[in-house]
Amino acid sequence: MRQVLIIGYVWPEPCSSAAGSRMVELIELFRRQGWPVTFASAAALSEHRLDLASLDVPEVSIRLNCDSFDGFVAALQPDLVLFDRYFTEEQFAWRVERVCPEALRVLDTSDLHSLRDARQRSLKARQQICANERERQQVGAVLDDQATLYTQMAGSDVAQREIAAIYRSDLTLMISDYEMQMLQGPFAVPPALLHHCPLMLIPPRQQPLPFAQRAHFVSIGNFRHAPNWDSVLWLRHGLWPLIRQRLPRAELHVYGAYPPPKATALHAPALGFQVRGWASDAHEVMGAARVCLAPLRFGAGIKGKLADAMACGTPSVTTTIGSEGMAGALPWPGAVVADAHAFADAAVSLHEQPDAWARAQQAGYAILQTRFDREAHGMELVQRLLRLASEREGQRQANFVGAMLRHHAHKSTQYMSQWIAEKNRRTDS
């Protein structure tokens, strides 16, 4: 590839979210092939963003609904354009296709947003029938099967937009094999349009601390991500009181980028519940804890916090939502539970029993070796992209649904964007 253009929904923040880490993994993979990479985004520059210049990646600020983007892409002439999430594809793919029709258009979903949205709506529906906040925070994780999820997703605006973007793209990178199954099964998306590309993890720099040198529990996650905020609420009001009853001196350290005032208001040192906020080194705080708690009641994709826990040798307690797409048939490195009391039992057991803790740690290493091999997944993706480049026209011809969606959807998006651009020009003048 003579030039790769990545259009980011946000600027990469590898210390703030799994999505940020994944983006850096992809950039580094492309750079290792000798492919020049340019990163562009319409987002405001963020506090914790990575200095892309350190990776020899130029940064370009672009504007939504502005014809200046067309000139930028025409000058760059990328062979591959990677769209970070479906709404970025909606905004810019029609412009890329018009200016550089030969460029491969690849979508990275990060996670299947429509799946996360359906589970969040399911959780809210169950909570709405509760009499008070205490009861709402006792509701467990969403356990809907694929048939039920399809029913909830199929009529939603998010699912229709996201899956249309998948069809319009030459290839879509899926981080979770569960989501691959959802798309190829109930939604009947052709396998030729999808590529399973999980996190390509970089191991921590230091040897993990032993059981005796660790203390307390840890929970980590960007507070702006709705599933993470919900898990903090469940911890504070439903789960931590049960654990604290059994371990009166235990502490839970809650880390995450961008904590809002409502999160810091939960800080209660007397109860052992400590909201610490931003962690400059997630591996350091994860590696110092004895057990990671990730009580996710809804969500999608691969959970970076749980991958980090495995890499740091830290057993974890989570839900089926948290473990989804990660372990396959291998045993979980800790426990996967469905309700509050089972969660507390598993957390206390791992915290107090060195043998169980050591077995869980080894299970985590096995998952990383078997399912998250950095070199293997990286090479598979590179080979798929090179093969796609040589077979591009044939695949596009076979993807009639994608061509039809590009014709109709891009025309409406194009005309709306051009109307906004013209309106902005008149306002500026």
| Bridge partners, residue 274, by sequence | 253
C-alpha to C-alpha distance for 429 and 427, rounded to whole angstroms: 5
Lowest-confidence pick of 169-183, 191-205, 366-380: 191-205
C-alpha to C-alpha distance for 291 and 215, rounded to whole angstroms: 8
Residues 320 and 296 sit within 8 Å (Cβ to Cβ):
no
Question: Residue type at 55?
Answer: L
C-alpha to C-alpha distance for 48 and 31, rounded to whole angstroms: 22
Domains of the chain (ranges; CATH) run: 4-115+127-131+140-200+374-428 (3.40.50.2000), 211-371 (3.40.50.2000)
User: What is the pLDDT at residue 374?
Assistant: 86
Nearest Cα residue to 252 out of 238, 260, 404, 337: 238
Q: What sign for the dihedral angle of Cα 21, 24, 25, 26?
A: positive
Residues 297 and 227 sit within 8 Å (Cβ to Cβ):
yes
**CA distances to 64, 77, 95 from 417, in Å:** 8, 22, 10
pLDDT in tens, 52-99: 998 999 999 999 989 999 999 999 999 999 999 999 999 999 999 999
**CA distances to 60, 198, 215 from 8, in Å:** 10, 18, 38
Say which residue, 71 or 421, is predicted with more confidence: 71
User: What is the pLDDT at residue 359?
Assistant: 97
DSSP letter, residue 328: T
C-alpha to C-alpha distance for 252 and 236, rounded to whole angstroms: 10
pLDDT in tens, 249-295: 999 999 998 999 999 999 999 999 999 998 888 899 999 999 999 99
What is the pLDDT of the chain when averaged over all its residues?
92
pLDDT in tens, 320-377: 999 999 999 999 999 999 889 999 999 999 999 999 999 999 999 999 999 998 889 9
User: What is the pLDDT at residue 46?
Assistant: 80
Tokens of 115: 């799946």
User: What is the pLDDT at residue 292?
Assistant: 98
CB atoms within 10 A of CB 380: 14
C-alpha to C-alpha distance for 39 and 54, rounded to whole angstroms: 13
User: What is the pLDDT at residue 150?
Assistant: 96
Helix H segments across 372-399?
A: 374-398
How are strands ordered across the β-sheet holding 171-174? 59-61, 37-41, 4-8, 80-84, 104-108, 171-174, 194-196
pLDDT for 423 beyond 70: no
Counts for the chain of helices (H) and strands (E), in that order:
18, 13
